[in-house]
Amino acid sequence: MQGEWDRQRELLDVVSVAGHLLEPGSVFALLAEHRGRLFPAELFADLFPSGRGRPSIPGEVIASVIVLQALFGHSDREAVDALTFDLRWKAACGYAVDAKGFDSSTLTYWRRRLAASENPQRIFEVVRQVIAETGAVKTKTRRALDSTVLDDAVARQDTITQLIAQIRRVGREVPGAKELIASECTRLAAVCGHDCSEAGKPRIAWDDQAARDELVSALVADALALLEALDVEAITAAGGRPAEAVALLALVAGQDVEPAEDSDGTDGRWRIARRTVPDRVISTVDPDARHAHKTQQRRQDGFKAHIVVEPDTGLTTAARLTRASGPDNSDAAVGADLVTTDPTTTDVEHIEVLGDSAYATGDMLATLAGKQWLPLVKPWPTRPAVEGGFGLDDFTFDAAANTLTCPADVTRTVSPQGRAKFGAACRQCPLRQRCTTSQSGRSVLLGEHHVLQRQHRQRAQGEDFRATYRQHRPMVERSIAWLTRGARRVPYRGVDKNNSWLHHRAAALNLRRLLAMGLTHQNGAWALA
């Protein structure tokens, strides 16, 4: 059952003894005075439906600790220590001077209950309701999008480590798998004396290419033999942790290996693949972690945090953490969904959406056009086939006739696949050197939304567009800096847990931002001074 807070002050109540020392306008002072108003007991009533059992820690206390923990980047143990020894935390949570904090496992318990509930991000939504009540973003007609890569909490694993670790996990999670591993996974032990049940890498001559190839072949063969011996169909149908373990083994057994150079894959000879599979799993400890290429120069492993920010106030109105790669996790795909479902935009008829070139996809522009919103997004650059030569915008598209005309005034029909080929017309063309180096002539591929993208590129040349972008875009970069300061590495494993952490972090930063703007509670309502 949910615990209830006793409103009677104790003799050594921190607020009574030293409340005047709290910095006015701090998150500590806000929670000390208003935590019960922000996080009432009914907010968490659905987490304890039975009403039986030992009372838990009151929801307002846990929520306050979660907010402070996210704000200062503490681990569970550090947060509980702060609650025990830091008078500011005690005041914020209503603890007496001599009160001891609860066990750190309580935070894990609450996060688990929140994650399993119908509204796992309720703390963030409470703060967003405060934002709405103050009217801070009510009449604001702009939203800025951005993302950043957050480092994962695990180490990257190579192919060999992944395979051994996952075979061992199958042995732990799947009933009867240990016996199958002992009987079926014998090739690795025969090659190097390393049993599949042992942790760590086998000891071989790692500078010997033949020895490495033999090891990879043996390990892949053992993994495939185990999968063949298991009743994969029945395990998958049953679901749960055994199904997850088997599915991940199948994935890592195939993502990084390929048949040896002169093998067709049937003779048991394998090698590390000469390419990197898209959306590659980089760790069996956290299967959701991914390689990320935020830029060509900066490469990280981890997750991607996406935010929507109101650029005048710097308040985060929507957020989401995703895998760092995959088409569904791109900046444009996630950004379009976030900004169009942001509840703070429902009462605003026309929104200007700001973003860098990652958001300038045709689908994104089409989504905004469907809502009659204006994209203030840095357009994708059009790269000419010849440096300094003709780009896509130098070709004239006739939508009515479905034709494309080149700078030399040659017109071609656009195919159903969106391609226009100029072919023989390029052979004697006086502009050929500025257009193409291909012997078969210039070929132009038009995307599904190429008209929207072309119009957007033209609009982006206007001074009004550029001035608005320069004025309002920087705030979202500043918000990203606030978000990642001291929190570049996520604290948990998996998308779901870290997505909740991101929302708690954003909620805490929003409270701090609101306080800087003069947040007060007057006449039963939240307002800005």
* Domains present along the chain, CATH in parentheses: 1-120 (no CATH), 122-154+295-372+480-529 (3.30.420), 159-272 (no CATH), 392-451 (no CATH)
Q: pTM of the predicted model, to two decimals?
A: 0.89
* CA-based nearest residue to 96, from 14, 178, 199, 179: 14
* CA-based nearest residue to 13, from 101, 90, 100, 81: 90
- Convert 54-67 into a string of H (helix), E (strand) and C (coil): CCCCCHHHHHHHHH
Count of beta carbons in the 10 Å neighbourhood of residue 55: 10
* CA-based nearest residue to 333, from 365, 371, 285, 288: 365
Residue 262, pLDDT score: 79
Residue 83 has pLDDT above 60, yes or no: yes
The tens digit of pLDDT for each residue in 361-375 reads 999 999 999 999 999
Can you name the residues that pair with 352 across neighbouring β-strands?
142, 374
What percent of the chain shows pLDDT beyond 70? 95
Do the Cβ atoms of 403 and 397 come closer than 8 Å? Answer: yes
What distances in angstroms separate CA 256 from CA 200, 264, 265, 274, 280, one per listed residue?
A: 19, 16, 14, 8, 8
The burial of 381, by beta-carbon neighbours within 10 Å (0-12 exposed, 13-18 middle, 19 or more buried), is given as: exposed
Torsion sign (Cα): 86, 92, 95, 96? positive
- The amino acid present at 318, given as its one-letter code, is A
Among all chains, which residue has been given the structure tokens 């599979």?
A: 277
Residue 494, pLDDT score: 94
The tens digit of pLDDT for each residue in 440-473 reads 999 999 989 999 999 999 999 999 999 999 999 9
- The amino acid present at 311, given as its one-letter code, is P
Q: Cα separation of 334 and 329, whole Å?
A: 6
HSE-CB at 499 with a 13 A cutoff on CA atoms is 19
| Token pair belonging to 283 | 């760790």
The tens digit of pLDDT for each residue in 101-131 reads 999 999 999 999 999 999 999 999 999 999 9
Residue 2 has pLDDT above 60, yes or no: no
Count of beta carbons in the 10 Å neighbourhood of residue 299: 11
Helix count and strand count (H, E) for the chain: 19, 15
Q: How far is residue 160 CA from its own chain's centroid?
A: 27
